[in-house]
Amino acid sequence: MSEARVAAQQTVLSGAVAVLVPVYKDDGRLEHTLDSLASQGVPLVAVLVDDGSPMPTSVDPHRHPFEVVVLRHDVNRGIEHALNTGLEYIHRRGFEFVARLDNGDRCVPGRLARQRAVLQADATIHLVGSAVEWRDDGGQVRFTRVFPTGHDDIVRALHHTTVLIHPAVMFRASVVDSVGMYSTAYPAAEDYEFFFRIARRHRVANLPETLLITRYDPDGVSIRRRRTQLRSSLRIQVANFRPGLWASYLGILKTLGRFFVPYSWITAAKAVVGRRSAVVPA
C-alpha cells in the first residue's frame, strides 16, 4: 500500500471531516462523487482507498477545493480491508469525524454540515445517518427511504431491517477506540455488524432529510453477493438476538425468507413504499 497526495503528519483543520471512499475499478463516476463534496460547508479531506484496481485510481489534485488522499492496496483485499485501511489513516491523522461515501454516490449540498452539527450539538450521539434516494444511471428516481430518527427506534429496527445506510452515515472517529474496526468475519455485511456494535455502546440517530443520492445498480455488490450477505446478516442477527424483543424473531424470519424470494420482488416493494416518502431535491 502507498500513500499519495499528502503525508500523514499534516495538520488537520479544526472540525474537518474525513470522507472515506473505497474504490475498485473506477468507471468514471469517482469525479462526480468528489464534485458533490465541493458544497458541503465544512473543511474536509477525501480519503480514497483503491482496493487493488488493475489500473490505479488517479485524481487531479488541482480539480477540487479540498485535500484528496489516495491510499492503495497492491492487491484486491475486499471492502472490509479497504475501510479499515482508511480508518487507520484517519485515526492516525487525528480527525474527529468520519463520513462514508461510495463511489458513484453524491452528497446533497450541506450534507456534511448537517450531520456534523448533530454530532457537535450532542456529545452522546456517535453516529448519524439520513434518508436516502436511489436513482438509476438515467437520473430516474427509483425509490426513496426515510428511516427512524431516534436511538431506541433505530436499535429495535436494526434487528429486522436496514435503517442505517452505510454511505449516508457520519460517525465519530473515536468509535474505533471503543468498538474497534470493521470486522472481516461478516463478508458483504460488515456495515450491519459495525452499526450493531456502535449502537450497543453509544446513541445513534438519523436525520429525516434526504442527504444522499445513491446509485441504483442492478449489478451492484449487494445483489451479486446477495446470498453471502444474507448468510452474514443471519449470523449477525443470531449474535445480537434478544429473546424479549419481537424484532429479533422477525429479523431472522425475514432473512431466512429472503433466501427464497427473488431480489426483483424486494426492489419492487421498496419502490412502492419509497414513492410515498418526501424527497428533498439535490
Digit-coded pLDDT (tens) for 200-237:
999 999 999 999 999 887 665 556 688 899 999 999 99
Q: Is residue 249 part of a domain?
A: yes
The reported pLDDT for the residue numbered 89 is: 98
Arithmetic mean of pLDDT over the chain: 89
Give which of 16, 54, 8, 51 is closest to 37, Cα–Cα.
Answer: 16
- Higher-confidence position of 281 and 201: 201
Q: Is residue 282 part of a domain?
A: no
Give which of 208, 212, 226 is closest to 266, Cα–Cα.
Answer: 226
- In the structure, what pLDDT confidence band is assigned to residue 2 with cuts at 50, 70 and 90? very low
State the sign of the Cα–Cα–Cα–Cα dihedral 132, 138, 141, 145: negative
The reported pLDDT for the residue numbered 278 is: 42
Structure confidence by residue, pLDDT tens digits, 125-167: 999 999 999 998 888 898 999 999 999 999 999 999 999 999 9
Mean pLDDT, residues 11-31 taken together: 90
The reported pLDDT for the residue numbered 7 is: 42
The reported pLDDT for the residue numbered 222 is: 56
The reported pLDDT for the residue numbered 266 is: 57
The reported pLDDT for the residue numbered 250 is: 97
Q: Is residue 281 part of a domain?
A: no
The Cα-based distances of 61 to 18, 34, 75, 234, 274 in angstroms read: 16, 11, 24, 43, 38
Residue 77 has pLDDT above 90, yes or no: yes
- Cβ(242)–Cβ(154) below 8 Å: no
CATH number of the domain at 59, please: 3.90.550.10
Q: Is residue 19 part of a domain?
A: yes
- Higher-confidence position of 200 and 1: 200
Q: Is residue 279 part of a domain?
A: no
Q: Is residue 65 part of a domain?
A: yes
Spatial distance between the Cα atoms of 279 and 146, rounded to a whole number of angstroms: 9
The reported pLDDT for the residue numbered 282 is: 30
Give which of 102, 78, 163, 83 is closest to 127, Cα–Cα.
Answer: 163
Contacts 24+ apart (CB under 8 A), 28-33: 29/103, 29/104, 29/215, 30/57, 30/59, 30/103, 30/104, 31/59, 31/63, 32/104, 32/106, 33/101, 33/102, 33/103, 33/104, 33/105, 33/106
Question: Could you give the percent of the chain with pLDDT greater than 70?
Answer: 86
Mean pLDDT check: name the lowest of 9-23, 136-150, 177-191, 228-242.
Answer: 9-23
Spatial distance between the Cα atoms of 139 and 133, rounded to a whole number of angstroms: 11
Question: Could you give the percent of the chain with pLDDT greater than 90?
Answer: 77
DSSP labels, 216-243: --TTSHHHHTHHHHHHHHHHHHHHT--T
Give which of 184, 175, 167, 170 is closest to 79, Cα–Cα.
Answer: 184
Contacts of 203 (CB under 8 A, 6+ apart): 122, 124, 125, 126, 151
User: 145 has which bridge partners?
Assistant: 132
The reported pLDDT for the residue numbered 9 is: 39
Mean pLDDT, residues 52-64 taken together: 91
The residue segments making up the domain with residue 88 are 2-274
Q: Count up the domains in the chain and report the number.
A: 1
Q: Is residue 252 part of a domain?
A: yes
Q: Is residue 214 part of a domain?
A: yes
